[in-house]
Amino acid sequence: MATKTVIAADYREWQVQRRVEWTTPAVGDEFEHDVDAGSGAVVLILGMLVFFWLMMLIWVPEHVVFPWFYWVVVLVGVGFFPARWLLRRPFTITAKTQGGYDLPPEKWTGMVRGLATAREETKVVIRSLKNRSTPGHADSPLQPIN
């Protein structure tokens, strides 16, 4: 979780926060969460993969020697999906202010996918606050929350 304090062009103090979501939240226009098999299926599939690789290694004849690049391919293959899962996690970006002299408090929130995208969108929100006094822009994932 990264929180930054920004003084906007209208001199209001905003808190801009970026937070990783470890479970993908259900969104109204997505239906994939309805057919998701859940964490039980993940455990079953990973268990079967581990069992498969153990059987491959146990039943290999004694005179067979695997070259080093075989193990590199196995490590890349095993590490690809967990690394992709980690790098493509959804992030929630929130910008909120207590308000100003005659300005009401505001809260804007939105979701982006991926660490690099979240960092870039946070920079865009901060720049927008400093220049235009609002965190949203035309293509912004941030929307005002009442």
**Any idea where the domains of the chain sit in the sequence?**
2-22+89-145, 32-87
Give residue for tokens 């004694």: 62
Question: Pick the residue with more confidence: 51 or 62?
Answer: 51
Contact 22, 92 (CB under 8 A): no
pTM of the prediction? 0.68
H or E stretch covering 127:
helix 115-132
Predicted pLDDT at 30: 56
Mean pLDDT of 15-37: 71
Number of CB atoms found within 10 A of residue 89's CB: 15
**Interval 62-73: pLDDT, tens:** 888 889 998 899
Q: Residue 103: pLDDT band by 50, 70, 90 thresholds? A: confident
- Cα angle 33, 36, 91 (rounded to 5 degrees) comes to 50
Three-class SS state of 73: helix
